[in-house]
Structure 1
Amino acid sequence: MKKLLLVEDEKIMAKNIAFFLEREGYQVDIEYDGIEALQAYNKNTYDLILLDWTLPKKDGLEVCKDIRKTSQIPIIMITAKGDLFDKIIGLEIGADDYLVKPFDQRELLARIHAVLRRNEKANDNDAAKVEQWLEYDGIKLDREKLMIQFEDKHVSLTANEYKLMEILMKKPENVFSREFLYEAVWGGSLMYNERTVDMTISRLRKKLLEMTGKKYFEAIRGMGYRLGGQV
């Protein structure tokens, strides 16, 4: 039985969601603020976290950031903030999906199933890997610690930055469309927006430039990106 942590300060909503998910075969723990959520996370083992954005004591974004320092457990943000910019922020700090209130409980269930499937597939792929490092042009991508190393320098990556970097490093001469990268990294769970990909590429480019002095990620007009390094 999959065990979920639901963090939602609206108690009636939290209990209704938990009741629905328990009928669907999940075990659900409920916490009502960010501090208690982190305490529960540190004490227990969960398969997925449903995390409200606006919480007492510590908001959902800060909770997500804290968890992402040590874990890649699937996280679905649940919030009333429906602007595209808010969605991008939620995904960029490490959330795997984003659901806007009010929502149908069946949609929530479908999102949970989809995120768990992707996570299980990723874990299967990780189990098949025997090398910790992926290398290109002197750059090393640490698959265990989610960081890039170049000579004696290193920099940490967000979960989505890591996924994007891994795809491009595996086939550095290939050109990948924005649509492909979005689907591979964000799972296509939101309406496609190329700015999400561009913003992540921009942050990675800046990190690599500061480390190596090279401008990576060549933009191919009308197509997408490839890794490539230029002085």
Structure 2
Amino acid sequence: MSEPHILLVDDDGEIRRLVTKFLRESGFRVTSVRDGREMRETLKSTSVDLIVLDLMLPGISGLELCRELRAESAIPIVMLTARGDDLDRVLGLEFGADDYISKPFNTRELAARIRAVLRRTTAQGETRLDPSWRFTFDGWVLDTRRRELVNDQGVVVDLSTGEYDLLLSFVEAPQRVLSRDHLLDAARNRVSSVFDRSIDVQVSRLRRKLGGDGTPDMIKTVRGLGYLFVPEVAKA
């Protein structure tokens, strides 16, 4: 199997040098760039498996680049944030990042998070052993072979890696209350802390994509317990 290709976007030359060196020693192929302009140019001519994207960049910010990427691609994004406060984390998830890590960070932890996101992405692209690979609910279809969500009008709805994992957890266990810890493990492959609200952000994003414009919510909040996927789900 070829080395996963990581695109590192950070304006700090020392961070680029150190992270690039460590990731290459850890079995990744790495291209590093300084800003959004160089990132765009690289993506025009190069295929990458994951982007490590700094929040604070000169010119267009990492958040805007994240939103731009997510509007046209489902490529996994790990966001680097200068601070560990909730606002940075929530904004990163709102704009479509699949994971985040706060500076200063441990390079081993960054590599572990990259591998976790890539494992989920790879698993999503493989044929499931279960012959039931399509889930239908209220006229919608989740195709796990193509990693596609199609709405009741036949339009494909783009999902980030985290949103896809979250929805898959719901359709595999419909009309059951799933705790935040369970969903966080499934959607982001890490253990939450008591105060981690990132799963609520992911649920909010997913609700909007499932038609949160006045239509009844498909995802019900069960106070103090977690969330419940309301529709009946059939496998095909």
TM over 0.5: yes
CA-atom RMSD in angstroms: 3.0
Distance 2:46 2:83 in 1: 29
Q: Which moved more, 1:202-211 or 1:6-15?
A: 202-211
Task: Tell me the residue number matched to 1:139.
Answer: 140
The percent identity for this pair of structures is 35
Amino acid at match of 2:136: E
Q: Could you tell me the TM-score, scaled by structure 1's length? A: 0.81
> Within 1, Cα distance between the matches of 2:142 and 2:211?
11
Report which structure shows greater RCO (CA 8 Å, sep ≥6): 2
Report what 1:51 is aligned to: 53
Q: Specify whether residues 61 and 161 from structure 1 end up closer, same or farther in structure 2 by C-alpha distance, changes over 3 A only.
A: same
- Looking at structure 1, the residues matched to 112 and 200 of structure 2 have their Cα atoms a distance apart, in angstroms, of 28
| 1:168 paired residue number | 170
Q: What residue is the counterpart of 2:230 in the other structure?
A: 228
Secondary structure at the residue paired with 2:16?
helix
Unaligned 5+ segments in structure 2 are 232-236
Bigger shift: residues 51-60 or 201-210? 201-210
Q: Secondary structure at the match of 2:48?
A: coil
Give 1:189 shift: 6.1
Q: Return closer, same or farther for 1:204/1:104 CA change in 2, 3 Å cut-off.
A: closer
Q: Please show how residues 29-178 of structure 1 align to structure 2 within 5 Å.
A: 29-125=31-127, 134-141=135-142, 144=146, 146-151=148-153, 156-178=158-180
Q: Which moved more, 1:49-58 or 1:134-143?
A: 134-143
Shift of 1:32: 0.4
The aligned counterpart of 1:179 is: 181
Matches of 2:194 and 2:40, distance apart in 1: 31
The answer on 1:208 being equivalent to 2:211 is yes
The answer to whether the 8 Å contact 1:146/1:159 transfers is no
Contact 2:55 2:61 in 1 (8 A): yes
Q: Deviations over 1:112-166 (max 9, x none)?
A: 23322332233235698786x5321223346657555134787654443333223
Retained in 1: the 8 A contact 2:74–2:158? no
Letter in 2 for 1:138: G
**Measured at CA, do residues 6 and 226 of structure 1 come closer, stay the same or move farther in structure 2, by a change above 3 Å?**
same
- The number of equivalent residue pairs is 227
Q: In structure 1, give the amino acid aligned to 2:107.
A: Q
Which structure is higher in helix share?
Answer: 1
> Please, which moves more after superposition, 196-205 or 101-110?
196-205
Q: What SS does structure 2 have at the residue aligned with 1:57?
A: coil
Distance 2:223 2:95 in 1: 28
- Counterpart secondary structure, 1:76: strand
- Between stretches 30-39 and 122-131, larger displacement belongs to 122-131
- SS in structure 1 at match of 2:101: strand
